[in-house]
A and B are shown apart, each in its own frame.
Chain A
């Protein structure tokens, strides 16, 4: 099983006719993802890999009424296309698009809470359950990275995700579901909010978080573990430890986070709830072997 999507989940691709949109739709289908339809204003009547294209999400959903498909936004076909998906009743939305204005993203996250929907991203590669399905853009054919297994991975990065996941695979594991929550300052869904799905997934044995400096998402994960929301083994990679103190966002940032957001603070918070926090990608695999009692044999 995988979290977020399975082979049965019907997928709608917004921006399906664009260069990246059609390229990755092809890969999603090749991998086994159930792409039902696509949307590009002005292109209704066309098809991409045999999937019908509609002008708007509303029209696509009306034609494909049974069940509500999640949707993956590739290009920013229209301003506010996150709202288009939400307003059409879609409950799982992966926002591949980058460059979404900050205030719009805050509005989308607020609207998703009201609708009881999950909006993942923006500025993410999406999510993938190797051997099952993918919503987004991952080089799943690189077997030394995207191997099926039992480790859930959550990340904000692209290239670093490939790096860390390769180390998890090198240590003898594979991936249950990899969820990219996106690199923008306000992700639609936060690390801690994905934990209940990994907790409920019988195929996920442990979770790895690829975190970063700033914000409070790693601290929220520690709080979720403390509260018993997540009880499986947890490992994390946190980079940026030797980075010189960057230009600060001003006092408000520090005040909002109440002194949280430093690597030291994040390591301390995660370790205090039993998570193994690595300072090098290669240690992630090692820590997983420890956490899951597989011994240090590699």
Chain B
């Protein structure tokens, strides 16, 4: 008798256990600073004088690509007007992949640190292919895009790895650091796809939600190309996944939250024919995404970066020219992304084969804006400027390209 009912009993126990452990996250809401903090931060950013400077990051390898940038934040959430915090120099960490060439077996992830009023510190290898194999317990053929996401007291490193095939066979992995990127915890794989966990890649930073979870824009390349939105709990568990449906093949969503419920995403156009920056929107904090009409910004199938500035405008970096990546520009929108104006050309070259691509943007706590990008696939370049420099586009700075 007991034996006959055994399967039912096992099912009942399993069901109860599953009910107790299944996730039921809060209704999502984008984390937003309170009005007083936002106003003070806006005043500080606006007060910075117009300036622009650039520097090259260390080049430990012949090839470098796909840089990410994040600011190390103190361990506790301090109000933005705290004097102690202002006295601490801004600390940025950049990471990228480098080796003999993109996709080669010798490609590793590198990290370099920058403190305000100082030059970039030497690059450190933070993840090799062999290290990833050990930590993830599987063979890894190549490493790809890294992404650093910051929160007070902790950095999250997401990176792409491929076991077999090309980039369409990618999966994402996650590691964390609680000492500003000096030491990274062993990485763990994030499972986001049912079919051999194929084809989830990461590129642009995520947005923190009010419950402490992270909204992370990712993308899928196998069979179809589309953006996706993951919601991860603070320990990296996947709470939810949503597709960003688009009429064309799209990649690498860059998401900016406008308020608690609304966010916009600019996407790389990977479709055929004339390519433009594609657009998507959410009005329920990422629970669903709707395709918007493409923006009239040319996009030669290249990555774009987008952030919300302290003055409420949106800033985008990309290659707004047809066909090639030999011009990197900044575009700005003051109407939440409906219309865009090209405000600055950061770098350009007459040679179509030159590449200034894969930009990453952040605005640090002092209000200064930082842009890092792939420079001719040989290295990573850092441009630092202010809102005032953007507001006065009379004299666009175009650094000369060394031959």
Partners in one complex: no
